[in-house]
Structure 1
Amino acid sequence: MSKRQSAKYKLDRRLGENVWGRPKSPVNRREYGPGQHGQRRKGKLSDFGLQLRAKQKLKGHYGDISEKQFRKTYDEASRRKGDTNENLIGLLESRLDALVYRAKFVPTIFAARQFVNHGHILVNGRRVNIPSYRCKAGDVIEVKEKSKQLAIVLEATQLSERDVPDYVDADHNKMVAKFVRVPALSDVPYAVHMEPNLVVEFYSR
């Protein structure tokens, strides 16, 4: 598992966007970037700068996946038939930690990664503790019986800041979710505008 080295909300401030749509985000209070030069007017970004920013934003949204892992996901998306942009989003949304987050079993993507890593999740009745585990349509994801009453789980299901998307069928009484189908980009409830086409351009240079 890759370990996060920096404070998660630094990404929000650096990009000037509330990447996860959370009320706690510092962007809600200070829309300018961090540091002593944060309030300077920014120059126009080059094409490379726009592509890099799109990659950082998408990578950051999924818990700041390591560059190696993100590149592997892109390579897999480009090998598959069809639109690479849609394939990339489909693969990222098929990650177990992303589905635990989308099902609202935990409040943040970072909590989802830790939750999976600590062995609280079953996939089709078997314990899986790899956050990057790729789920298939039809897989049933369940919170382990002993973990269903954890405060973090009970609080997350009550959060009003986001809804469960329609490609995840979640039952919060039983703490079970079914991955109904692999979503398209337009199905994913991102809090900010994502541009996977720029990420594809970045890697295919």
Structure 2
Amino acid sequence: MSKRQSAKYKLDRRMGENIWGRPKSPANRREYGPGQHGQRRKGKLSDFGVQLRAKQKLKGYYGNISEKQFRKTYDEASRQRGDTSENLIGLLECRLDAVVYRAKFVLTVFAARQFINHGHVNVNGRRVNIGSYMCKPGDVIEVREKSKQLAIVLEAVQSAERDVPDYLDVDTHKLTATFARVPAFGDVPYPVQMEPNLVVEFYSR
């Protein structure tokens, strides 16, 4: 877990942005990148660099998922009808770890993945322990009964750090969330600007 925490904060500093909107982010104190040469990395990015940065930021936001998994999600988005960038965001928000994070059952998307892996989450009454599981509209996601009093859950539910988006119907007393619909890009409450159109350009080169 410590390795993930380190990677998360390095990502914030590398991007120069507090991409999860957390008050503890080192980007709030130091806008320059990590490492001894971090303060000197101010050169203008090429078009490729801008596209790569947009991809790394979006990929990192969802728990720094692997490149293979992220590319697979992009390929699925490009096969679907409609705007590929909108489809990409919709698919990322359908991930079970993203839904558990959005529902405020835990404080971070990294914690959401670990929470799911440890078997604390049911989907439609059945235990699911895979963070990349794709939720569908109408699915009911709930914290298992024996896990509802865990300190990380109680802390997250009481946190005022962020709000639950309107494409989830959450009951904070029962710790259940209904995935009402696949959101559009404009519905997703990113704390910083995301540019999925640049991600599409990156993979379309």
TM, length-normalised to structure 1: 0.97
Deviation, structure 1 residue 7 = 2.2
User: Do the aligned partners of residues 5 and 18 (structure 1) sit closer, same or farther apart at CA in structure 2, a change above 3 Å counting?
Assistant: closer
Name the amino acid aligned to 1:79. Answer: R
Further displaced range: 36-45 or 86-95: 36-45
Report the 3-state secondary structure (helix = DSSP H, G, I; strand = E; otherwise coil) of the residue aligned with 1:8.
helix
Corresponding position of 2:184: 184
Q: What is the CA–CA distance in structure 1 between the aligned matches of 2:141 and 2:36, rounded to whole Å?
A: 45
Report the 3-state secondary structure (helix = DSSP H, G, I; strand = E; otherwise coil) of the residue aligned with 1:7.
helix
Deviation, structure 1 residue 4 = 4.9
Q: What is the CA–CA distance in structure 1 between the aligned matches of 2:81 and 2:117, rounded to whole Å?
A: 32
Name the amino acid aligned to 1:61. Answer: Y
Deviation, structure 1 residue 8 = 1.1
Corresponding position of 2:12: 12
Name the amino acid aligned to 1:76. Answer: E
Corresponding position of 1:23: 23
Residues 73 and 92 in structure 2, CA contact (< 8 A), matched pair in contact too: yes
Corresponding position of 1:36: 36
Q: What is the CA–CA distance in structure 1 between the aligned matches of 2:128 and 2:36, rounded to whole Å?
A: 44
Corresponding position of 2:145: 145
Note if 1:136 corresponds to 2:136: yes
Instruction: Map residues 1-205 of structure 1 onto 2, 5 A cutoff.
Output: 4=4, 7-40=7-40, 42-205=42-205
Q: How many residues align?
A: 203
Q: Deviations over 1:25-46 (max 9, x none)?
A: 0011111111111112511100
Name the amino acid aligned to 1:202. Answer: F
Q: Deviations over 1:21-72 (max 9, x none)?
A: 0000001111111111111251110000000000000000000000000000
Q: What is the CA–CA distance in structure 2 between the aligned matches of 1:79 and 1:203, rounded to whole Å?
A: 13
Q: What is the CA–CA distance in structure 2 between the aligned matches of 1:175 and 1:114, rounded to whole Å?
A: 17
TM, length-normalised to structure 2: 0.97
Report the 3-state secondary structure (helix = DSSP H, G, I; strand = E; otherwise coil) of the residue aligned with 1:178.
strand
Name the amino acid aligned to 2:150. Answer: L
Report the 3-state secondary structure (helix = DSSP H, G, I; strand = E; otherwise coil) of the residue aligned with 2:122.
strand
Q: Deviations over 1:160-200 (max 9, x none)?
A: 11000000111110000000100000000001000000000
Task: Looking at secondary structure, tell me which structure has more helix per residue.
Answer: 2
Deviation, structure 1 residue 6 = 5.4
Deviation, structure 1 residue 5 = 9.4
- Runs of 4 or more above 2 Å deviation: 3-7
Report the 3-state secondary structure (helix = DSSP H, G, I; strand = E; otherwise coil) of the residue aligned with 2:177.
strand
Runs (5+) with no aligned partner, structure 1: none
Report the 3-state secondary structure (helix = DSSP H, G, I; strand = E; otherwise coil) of the residue aligned with 2:23.
coil
Residues 33 and 41 in structure 2, CA contact (< 8 A), matched pair in contact too: no
Residues 54 and 194 in structure 2, CA contact (< 8 A), matched pair in contact too: yes
RMSD: 1.2
Q: What is the CA–CA distance in structure 2 between the aligned matches of 1:5 and 1:150, rounded to whole Å?
A: 20
Name the amino acid aligned to 1:188. Answer: V
Residues 121 and 142 in structure 2, CA contact (< 8 A), matched pair in contact too: yes
